Structure 1
Amino acid sequence: MQQLWSPWRSAYIQSADERNAEGCFLCACAAATEDTPDNLVVARFPSTIVVMNRFPYNAGHLLVAPKEHHGDLATLGTAQAHELIGAVQTSLRVIEHVMRPHGCNVGANLGRGAGAGVPDHLHIHAVPRWNGDTNFMPVLADVKVVSDDLVGQWQRFRDAFAELRGEA
C-alpha cells in the first residue's frame, strides 16, 4: 500500500489547542462583517461561505462550509445541502479559472476519527492538483512549498468569484 504524507500540516496540528481556545474559525468567518485577508473569506452565499485554507495542501485550497455551525452532512437540510454543493461546483470553476490545475480533489472528513480538523463544523475541501505536484521537500526537509502567497490568492479568488457570479 502506498502512503500520502503531509508533514507540512504539522503547523496546523500543533496549533490545535490555540484554535480550540479561540472557538470555531469557520463560525468566526461566517460572522465577520467584512471579508479580509485576515479571515480569507472569498465568497458568500445565503447559507454558505467559501474560505481559503490557511494551512493548504496546495495553493488554491478552498474550504466550503455552511454558515451555521453544523457538523453532520447526513442531517443537513436539503436546501442547505443543495446550496453547499452548488458552492462547491462554483468553487471548482473558480479554481479552474484562477489556478489552471490538471485536476482537483474534493472531499470531506466527517468526524475526528476520519481526520476532521474541525469535526463539529462541516466543510468540504476543494484542492487543485497538478501532475507531479509532490516533490522531495516535504519528505526530506519537512517543508511544503506553496508556490503563491495567501493574500495574493485571496484577491484573485475574490475577483474570480465576483466575476463568475456577475458581481464584478
Structure 2
Amino acid sequence: MSDAPEVVDGAVGIPDAYQRLWVPHRMAYISSNHTGPNAGGGEGECPFCEAPKRSDEEALIVHRGEHAYVLLNLFPYNSGHLLVCPYRHVPLYDEATTEEAAEIAALTQTAMRVLREDARCDGFNIGMNQGVIAGAGVAAHLHQHVVPRWAADANFFPIIGATKALPVLLGDTWASLKSAWPA
C-alpha cells in the first residue's frame, strides 16, 4: 500500500465523513491577522467612524438614527448579522450617554423585529464584547451585535471549525433589510 494520497473526484485527498465548505471571502479577515482596519487604534482608522461618511450601500448601513446607526457586519457569523453603533467614538457601554444607550437599545429592538419578519429567524444572539481581552474585534468603538439564528443553522461550527457558510451575499442582505426597515 502506498503512502501517496488517494485521488478522489479529481482532487487529492482521503475520503472522510466531513464535508468541505469553501469560503474564500474569509481570507480578508484571516489575512488581517484578526486586527481589522482598526489595527492602528486611531479614530481616523476606525471603521465605525468611517462608515457614516460613506453612502448607505457602500458602508452597508441599514438605518441612520440621531445618536446611533445600524449596519451589516462585514465579517458576519450568520446572514443578517447586524451591528448597532453610536456615531461617537467611545469604547465602553458605560461611557455612552443616556441618549446613545437608549437609541442603541431601541435600534436593537427594531433590528430584531426586522430580522424576524424579513429573514424569518428563530432566535438571536445579542451582545457586546467590551475590550480586546473580551474578544472585541474593534475595541475602540462601542458596537452591539444582533445575530439572527435559525433552528437548523450551524450553531458554533465557526468556533470549532473556523468556517461559516453564508447563503446570501452581503449586498443582497443589505438591500432586503434596508427596504424592510420601518420609515
TM-score bin (small chain): 0.7 to 0.9
> What's the counterpart of residue 35 of structure 1?
56
Q: Does 1:48 align with 2:68?
A: yes
SS in 1 for 2:56: coil
Counterpart CA distance in 2 for 1:58 and 1:10 is 17
Number of residue pairs matched? Answer: 154
Higher relative contact order (CA 8 A, sep 6+): 1
The question of whether the paired residues in 2 share the 8 Å contact of 1:50 and 1:65 is answered with yes
The 1:113/1:17 distance shift into structure 2, 3 A limit, reads: closer
Provide Cα deviations, 1:37-61, integer angstroms capped at 9, x if missing partner. Answer: x311111001111010111100000
Q: 1:11: how far off?
A: 4.5
Q: Does 1:82 align with 2:102?
A: yes
- Point out the structure with the larger helix share: 1
The 1:137/1:72 distance shift into structure 2, 3 A limit, reads: closer
> What's the counterpart of residue 70 of structure 1?
90
> What's the counterpart of residue 124 of structure 2?
104
Once superposed, which parts of structure 1, at least 4 consecutive aligned residues long, lie more than 2 Å away? 8-14, 135-143
Provide Cα deviations, 1:11-58, integer angstroms capped at 9, x if missing partner. Answer: 4253245612581111111222x211x311111001111010111100
The 1:141/1:90 distance shift into structure 2, 3 A limit, reads: closer
SS in 1 for 2:59: coil
> What's the counterpart of residue 25 of structure 1?
47
Provide Cα deviations, 1:40-93, integer angstroms capped at 9, x if missing partner. Answer: 111100111101011110000000000111111112111111011111111111
Stretches of structure 1 lacking an aligned partner (at least 5 in a row): 1-7
The 1:118/1:13 distance shift into structure 2, 3 A limit, reads: farther
Q: Does 1:119 align with 2:139?
A: yes
The question of whether the paired residues in 1 share the 8 Å contact of 2:36 and 2:137 is answered with no
The 1:18/1:54 distance shift into structure 2, 3 A limit, reads: closer
Query: Once superposed, what is the RMSD of the aligned Cα atoms?
Result: 2.5
The 1:136/1:81 distance shift into structure 2, 3 A limit, reads: closer
Q: Which amino acid aligns with 1:14?
A: S
Structure label with greater radius of gyration: 2
> What's the counterpart of residue 12 of structure 1?
29
> What's the counterpart of residue 171 of structure 2?
151
TM (norm. structure 2) is 0.75
